[in-house]
């Protein structure tokens, strides 16, 4: 793609769309997102300034080449939209999927908004889940844990950007190992893909620690279930793989007071809420 040339916004959109044709599902839309991120403009500006001439050089050309190699758009632009807000994202933290919004909804459905709560998130990743829960539950104290220092750095950027550093405490460690406090609600979107399972090429860019959950895939979920029961945590909300419902039920073997599964928008089993 030519660089360092002054062209109209519409011309840039046309050229980038052509470059991404056959590579991504929505080349025109992705061209728009790349242009907006590069120029630091919003959609309204893009629509109303299509004929404006702008210079887009090496950086934008490099972004297009990275996208042609199937690197996730979110890592290229360092932006991800989630729960009607925009967050920072970068390599080292899992890109949140739309179905994870349902996990947040499940937590909010059981949480008492005016009650002082201690919520622990295991596998904080980008910090987006904890950030939204802190926004929605003003009385909650949140402790967010991750084993990855890189993920914790990304989480810190989002927590600071939303002014929540006094409400969300980050700790590095394995699952609940760094937690000694009494927990009211445990929430996690843990890795649940089986080791060695083939992935779509774009997932090659995402951290293995956030994807693979063990030889079978549900080993980390089982460890969190054990912790929930041993520590007598009142509520555990967890995302899971579409084929793991029976495994969770069999592993628990009726060792709970209430167990609810929920489905994603495609109708697949996607998570559960365990209460005692």
Closest CA to 241 of 144, 97, 90: 97
What CA–CA distance (Å, rounded) separates 255 from 206?
A: 35
Please give the pLDDT value at position 201: 59
Residues in the chain: 276
The domain defined by 82-86+92-275 folds into Rossmann fold (3.40.50)
Closest CA to 227 of 255, 269, 257: 255
Please give the pLDDT value at position 57: 75
Tens place of pLDDT for every residue, the chain, 276 residues?
A: 555 578 899 999 999 999 999 999 999 999 999 999 999 999 999 999 989 888 877 889 999 999 999 999 999 999 999 999 999 999 889 999 999 999 999 999 999 887 889 999 999 999 999 999 999 999 999 999 999 999 999 999 999 999 999 999 999 999 999 999 999 999 999 986 766 676 665 666 666 666 666 677 789 999 999 999 999 999 999 999 999 999 999 999 888 889 999 999 999 999 999 998
Its pTM stands at 0.89
Please give the pLDDT value at position 254: 83
């Amino acid at each position: 793609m030519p660089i360092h040339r002054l062209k109209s916004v519409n011309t840039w959109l046309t050229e980038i769309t052509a470059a991404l044709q056959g590579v991504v599902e929505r080349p025109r839309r992705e061209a728009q997102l790349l242009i907006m991120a590069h120029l630091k403009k919003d959609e309204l500006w893009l629509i109303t300034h299509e004929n404006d001439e702008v210079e887009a050089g090496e950086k934008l050309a490099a972004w297009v080449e990275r996208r042609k190699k199937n690197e996730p758009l979110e890592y290229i632009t360092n932006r991800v939209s989630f729960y009607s807000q925009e967050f920072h994202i970068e390599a080292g933290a899992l890109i949140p999927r739309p179905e994870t919004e349902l996990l947040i909804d499940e937590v909010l459905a059981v949480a008492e908004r005016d009650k002082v709560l201690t919520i622990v998130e295991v596998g904080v990743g980008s910090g987006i889940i904890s950030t939204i829960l802190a926004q929605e539950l003003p009385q909650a104290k949140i402790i967010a844990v991750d084993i990855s220092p890189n993920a914790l750095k990304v989480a810190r950027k989002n927590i600071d950007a939303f002014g929540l550093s006094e409400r969300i405490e980050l700790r590095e460690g394995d699952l609940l190992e760094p937690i000694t406090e009494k927990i009211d609600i445990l929430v996690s979107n843990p890795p649940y893909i089986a080791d060695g399972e083939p992935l779509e090429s774009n997932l090659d860019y995402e951290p293995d620690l956030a994807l693979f959950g063990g030889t079978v895939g549900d080993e980390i979920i089982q460890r969190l279930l054990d912790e929930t029961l041993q520590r007598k945590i009142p509520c555990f909300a967890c995302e899971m793989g579409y084929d793991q419902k029976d495994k969770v039920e069999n592993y628990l073997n009726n060792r709970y007071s209430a167990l609810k599964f929920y489905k994603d928008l495609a109708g697949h089993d996607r998570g559960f809420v365990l209460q005692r």
